[in-house]
A = this chain, B = another copy of it.
């Protein structure tokens, strides 16, 4: 198949979620079947979508819930040519296996009373902070053994697992990380500038949010510079029903005392 004749067939459909939380079937359902030519016929893109999806008055009357409307759009690609499927990335699994042996490790860390061996090329690739340490002022002689103070052995090993495997160790097993471990990991990720690990910790912490924990979580997000978690916590806090519970927790008292800038932001939101 040459570039200019590559075709993709797709069903595109969209509907609205009603104020009762159920999808609009078949009230507002638009569906189209199209064959797209890609890589050579860009003009056809004009025909995507719908000129008039639904009447504004109907949307307003039947589908407006809590000041927002939820649209759902799905694109289903249909391909009946036999395909060769590329397996998912395995680079994390490959690098992870390096951690199973000390063969070829060229740097070691002393954390608490444990020694952990690693490969500097991997560390330097993944963390700008390790890169600066390893390429920077440290000589070959001192590089071989680095003492760390601000991290526990358990947290360091989980962080190292993430650095090599690009996911948290043991995530496929169903036991979740404790809130304490996630907070420690967030701190470590901030210290070593592991941005994606920060967001992973933030997501896992956010999944456990409640009126009892939101104040402490917000303090943690502010301490370790995690903007995503901070924003979500403030939005959660600003909902009146949540505010009236969360304001009586110890975490809220500490938030008031230690983080005046957050207190000011919350005050603005609540008064708005």
A188: interface (CB < 8 Å)? no
| 27 contacts across the A-B interface (CB closer than 8 A) | A1-B209, A11-B23, A11-B72, A17-B80, A25-B31, A25-B33, A39-B174, A70-B78, A70-B80, A74-B76, A82-B235, A84-B202, A84-B203, A84-B229, A85-B199, A86-B199, A86-B200, A87-B196, A89-B166, A89-B196, A91-B91, A98-B121, A98-B125, A103-B135, A104-B124, A104-B134, A121-B122
Per the bound structure, the CA–CA distance linking A176 and B199 in Å amounts to 34
Q: Are B121 and A90 in contact (CB under 8 A)?
A: no
Q: Most chain-B Cβ atoms within 10 A of its Cβ — which of A15, A70, A76? A: A76
A178: interface (CB < 8 Å)? no
CB-CB under 8 A from A103, the residues of chain B are 135
Q: Are A23 and B33 in contact (CB under 8 A)?
A: yes
Encode contact with B along A216-249: 1 for CB under 8 Å, 0 otherwise. Answer: 0000000000001100100100000000000000
Contact of A86 among B21, B23, B83, B203 (CB under 8 A): B203
Interface of chain A residues 8 through 22 with chain B (CB within 8 A): 9, 11, 15, 17, 21-22
A49: interface (CB < 8 Å)? no
A151: interface (CB < 8 Å)? no
A94: interface (CB < 8 Å)? yes
Give the interface SS of chain A, mostly helix, strand, loop or mixed.
mixed
Per the bound structure, the CA–CA distance linking A37 and B125 in Å amounts to 40
A4: interface (CB < 8 Å)? no
New contact pairs (14) apart from A22-B33, A97-B125, CB-CB < 8 Å:
A1-B210, A11-B72, A17-B80, A23-B33, A25-B33, A72-B76, A82-B232, A82-B235, A87-B195, A95-B125, A98-B121, A98-B124, A121-B122, A122-B122
A119: interface (CB < 8 Å)? yes
CB-CB under 8 A from A72, the residues of chain B are 11, 76, 78
CB-CB under 8 A from A90, the residues of chain B are 166, 196
